[in-house]
């Protein structure tokens, strides 16, 4: 009898522990991170754009906390790696977007791998751009569901890039879905959102927390949009490239609207963290309006540069159950802060992970009076030339091939680089701006502030020295193969390419 009672108590205890564990898991928020490609801070109507109408982005901002001084890297692959690792991109070995320098170094724990500690499932839909060889692909870095194009853009196949599949297009693109290439139907952005929504719907029914990473290749060039989205800009006299760029932005906005509607319809909006951001500043020159100008919210610089216009992006974070809507946070925050923030929100212990640069900004989201420490941030465009010894017989654009001297990163120490703290931006060892008083960086005050410059130089010298051992891709030989290309051709020959069918979203 005593044994039976003891057994019953043990069974009841085990059942209670299991139920409590399941309840805790169910209370974890779902996470959706939507990141557009080359959409600047200015390309939202709520941020003053005279060009686009983005009612859904505007609505999301009113429902979110908006981080008004959120900074990323000057180009896309570096930013993506910082989000995935909580580390500065150079510490991930990423100094370029091509030439094997876009590969996120192996052996670094990633955001989806960290989320697995609390049984999250993770899916990526769109652009990866952190390495095309198998070991570098998202399915090898913690993602459970993968629906992506290759290289840095759909159809990209120029010398020095591992390349997407041959002759791929923005309309009806061929996409790699969990290792198998499938032929889709429709405009690429619509395709990525639709597949992401189908996956979200399925996972929401399974009662397991999920991380959905929607990474559109739009509005990145070559600025192709559906005719229905271009027509408005065509009728208003916008140049051809601007028609495509702004058309893509408004198409993204419509898809965001559908996403928000579905989260409500599926009763998961309140328990889902929804983040909207871009990967770098606005692309220069392709978005002139009818007056031949490019609106950039008064900021200096564009994508690829290290002034404010190259690295400041929109960042909205919504969690109806926890965060007060409509607030703006003006504190300087960065892309590598996302991972530790999500780790703190999900109560995942990351104290065992060394080398992280980011700090959680959750206190800024939960308290209106929180004051954090003033940190230095470092922005470097990278992209120095290749050492000719590393080129071999591979076809590479001559503009990327340098000499022994110019290919040494040490000779690019002060080329396209900035140091930021809350108040100042120090650029190329030649310029200093008080971005609190002069957000447009119109007045160089370097001569009047030698002490500030000296301190900026000291912290940058220390950072630059410490970062050198992490530049693991600099001497990597160029790939003799195009992984996506060869895998696609092999599948095409042996099994063929099947049409993609999305599940019902109703």
Say what the pTM is. 0.94
Distance CA 423, CA 438 (A): 10
Cα–Cα nearest to 87, from 78, 96, 95: 78
Distance CA 450, CA 67 (A): 31
Output the furthest CA–CA distance in the chain (Å, rounded).
90
Collapsed DSSP state (helix, strand, coil) of residue 459 = helix
Q: Is the pLDDT of residue 52 over 70?
A: yes
**77-86 burial, b if ≥16 CB within 10 A, otherwise e?**
bbbbbbbbbb
DSSP β-bridge partners for residue 114: none
Q: Is the pLDDT of residue 460 over 70?
A: yes
pLDDT in tens, 10-43: 444 444 444 344 444 458 999 999 999 999 999 9
Distance CA 409, CA 416 (A): 12
Residue 326, sorted as left (phi over 0), alpha (psi -120 to 50) or beta, turns out to be left
What local confidence, expressed as pLDDT, does residue 267 receive? 96
Distance of CA 330 to the CA centre of its chain: 21
CATH architecture for residues 29-374 = 3-Layer(aba) Sandwich (3.40)
Cα–Cα nearest to 163, from 480, 471, 391, 403: 480
Cα–Cα nearest to 319, from 54, 31, 46, 94: 31
Distance CA 72, CA 305 (A): 11
Q: What is the mean pLDDT of residues 370-393?
A: 89
Q: Is the pLDDT of residue 440 over 60?
A: yes
pLDDT in tens, 241-253: 999 999 999 999 9
Q: What is the mean pLDDT of residues 473-490?
A: 89
Highest CATH level, class, for 378-470: alpha beta
Q: Is the pLDDT of residue 8 over 70?
A: no
Which residues of the chain form CATH 3.40.720.10?
A: 29-374
Q: Is the pLDDT of residue 474 over 60?
A: yes
Q: Confidence band (pLDDT; 50, 70, 90) for 170?
A: very high
Q: Hey, what are 143's tokens? A: 């993602």
Work out the mean pLDDT of the chain and round it to a whole number. 92
Q: Hey, what are 140's tokens? A: 């090898």
Which residues of the chain form CATH 3.30.1120?
A: 378-470
Q: Is the pLDDT of residue 333 over 80?
A: yes
What local confidence, expressed as pLDDT, does residue 4 receive? 58
Q: What is the mean pLDDT of residues 481-501?
A: 93
């Amino acid at each position: 009898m005593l044994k039976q009672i003891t057994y019953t108590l043990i069974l009841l205890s085990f059942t209670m522990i299991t139920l409590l564990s399941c309840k805790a898991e169910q209370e974890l928020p779902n996470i959706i991170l939507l990141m557009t490609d080359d959409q600047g801070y200015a390309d939202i109507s709520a941020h003053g754009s005279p060009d686009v109408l983005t009612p859904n982005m505007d609505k999301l901002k009113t429902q979110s906390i908006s981080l008004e001084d959120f900074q990323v890297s000057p180009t896309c692959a570096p930013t993506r790696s910082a989000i995935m690792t909580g580390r500065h991109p150079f510490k991930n070995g990423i100094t370029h977007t091509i030439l094997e320098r876009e590969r996120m170094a192996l052996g670094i724990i990633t955001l989806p791998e960290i989320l697995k500690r609390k049984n999250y499932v993770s899916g990526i839909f769109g652009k990866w751009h952190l390495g095309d060889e198998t070991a570098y692909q998202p399915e090898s870095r913690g993602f459970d569901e993968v629906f992506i194009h290759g290289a840095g853009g759909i159809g990209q196949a120029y010398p020095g890039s591992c390349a997407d599949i041959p002759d791929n297009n923005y309309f009806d693109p061929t996409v790699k879905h969990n290792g198998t290439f499938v032929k889709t139907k429709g405009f690429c952005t619509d395709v990525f959102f639709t597949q992401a929504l189908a996956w979200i719907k399925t996972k929401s029914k399974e009662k397991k927390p999920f991380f959905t990473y929607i990474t559109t290749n739009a509005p990145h060039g070559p600025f192709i949009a559906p005719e229905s989205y271009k027509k408005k800009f065509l009728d208003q006299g916008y140049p051809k490239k601007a028609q495509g760029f702004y058309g893509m932005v408004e198409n993204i906005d419509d898809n965001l609207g559908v996403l928000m509607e579905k989260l409500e319809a599926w009763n998961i909006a309140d328990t889902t963290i929804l983040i909207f951001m871009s990967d770098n500043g606005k692309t220069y020159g392709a978005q002139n309006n009818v007056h031949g100008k490019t609106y950039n919210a008064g900021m200096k610089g564009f994508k690829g540069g290290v002034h404010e216009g190259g690295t400041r992006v929109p960042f909205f974070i919504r969690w109806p159950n926890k965060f007060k809507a409509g607030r703006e946070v003006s504190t300087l925050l960065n892309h590598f802060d996302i991972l530790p923030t999500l780790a703190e929100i999900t109560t995942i212990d990351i104290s065992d992970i060394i080398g992280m640069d980011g700090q959680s900004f959750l206190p800024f989201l939960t308290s209106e009076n929180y004051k954090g420490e003033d940190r230095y941030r470092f922005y470097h465009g990278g992209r120095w030339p290749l050492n000719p010894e590393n080129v071999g017989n591979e076809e590479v654009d001559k503009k990327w091939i340098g000499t022994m001297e110019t290919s040494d990163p040490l000779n690019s120490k002060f080329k396209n680089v900035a140091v930021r703290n809350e108040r100042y931006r120090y650029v190329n060892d030649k310029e200093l701006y008080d971005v609190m008083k002069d957000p447009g960086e119109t007045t160089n005050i370097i001569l009047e502030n030698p002490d500030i410059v000296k301190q900026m130089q000291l912290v940058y010298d220390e950072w630059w020295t410490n970062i050198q051992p992490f530049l693991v891709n600099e001497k990597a030989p160029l790939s003799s193969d195009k992984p996506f290309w060869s895998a696609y051709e092999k599948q095409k020959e042996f099994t063929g390419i099947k049409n993609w069918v999305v599940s019902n979203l109703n």
